[in-house]
Amino acid sequence: MENILKSRNIKPTAMRILVLEVLAGQDAAIGLPELEQLFDRADKTTLYRTLKVFEEKKLIHRIDDGTGSVKYALCPANCECLPEDLHLHFLCTSCKKTYCLPDIPVPTIQLPGDFSVESVNMVAKGICSKCNQVA
């Protein structure tokens, strides 16, 4: 984990290593409230600052899936969070998990000449494969 942090010019601290381990172990994006529960004895400000550093250094990306709670997911090793790295996110309406679907890129949007895109968020909603197997 230390090498991953160093590769993004992030100083490895105990908290950063622990947060990275948790994020790496997730199969879906995770919100700050869920992280706070996992680190119930940790200072919430330190946890929030850790996430901000990870986001600034493009180790994670934030997802607004429309639930009112921002979620975070680990970026692939070669991700620079450029427009070509944007991908679809999927919110399961059954289990409420949000998944990154990196193999489905967000389409390029052509706007009128005096408009400029700062960010794009594309979320599909439905039933995930795990919930479909249960049904």
Please, what is the average pLDDT of the chain? 90
pLDDT of 71 higher than 80: yes
State the pTM of this model.
0.84
Domain ranges, ordered by start, for the chain: 2-134
pLDDT in tens, 83-122: 667 889 999 999 999 999 988 888 888 899 899 877 788 9
- Which listed CATH number (3.40.50.11540, 1.10.10.10, 1.20.1440.130, 3.30.420.40) goes with 2-134? 1.10.10.10
Residue 1 pLDDT: 86
Token reading at 123 = 């979320």
**Calpha distance 87→68 (Å, rounded):** 20
Contacts of 109 (CB under 8 A, 6+ apart): 117, 120
pLDDT in tens, 11-64: 999 999 999 999 999 999 999 899 999 988 888 899 999 999 999 999 999 999
User: Is-contact 71 30, C-beta < 8 A?
Assistant: yes
User: Is-contact 128 68, C-beta < 8 A?
Assistant: no
Report, in this order, helix, strand and coil percent for the chain, each rounded to 5. Answer: 35, 20, 45
